Amino acid sequence: MNWAHAHLMINHFPFIGTLGATLLLVYALVRKSEEVKKVSFGLFMLIALMTIAVYFTGREAEEMVKNLPGVTDAYISRHEVAASLVLVLMGVLGAMALVGRLLLRRSGSIPKWVVILVLLLSLVVIGVVGLTTNLGGQIRHTEIRDENTLAVPGTE
């Protein structure tokens, strides 16, 4: 196994995990369950940590694939910029989830404003992670590339 393989194995966690934790948070809101909110906030924290691993294995994977046929700096750069944004947003989401867990420990409940903020931020993160995943796929999967938005050498 190499870094590109490791990156491909774990890069689904930020999207699937955030989607799952968000659905769990919505369920917690419907059921008015502090315990389920606590679990979803814990998942957000775990996913934020996993995103760090995804980001850094991606940097190593880049070195392995950048000279392969059909791989261009333009596709890698677009993915890398989006991945940097995901790293920041996921860090903020994980930090807000940690704040919620700390407030839960102190007062016995997570303030509604924290829950709403985490929910809204998680929806943004799902969108940005989805975009980033698509951009990463375009690096090696020519069938999902939109050739009209990014010129690739040899296809003009």
74 by Cβ neighbours in 10 Å (0-12 / 13-18 / 19+) ranks as: middle
Mind listing the pLDDT tens digit for each residue in 57-102?
888 888 888 888 878 888 889 999 999 999 999 999 999 999 999 9
Query: Do 123 and 63 contact (CB within 8 A), yes or no?
Result: no
The amino acid sitting at 137 is G
Among the residues of 2-71, which ranges form H helices?
3-10, 13-31, 34-65
Query: pTM score, two decimals?
Result: 0.86
**Composition of the chain by helix, strand, coil, percent to 5:** 80, 0, 20
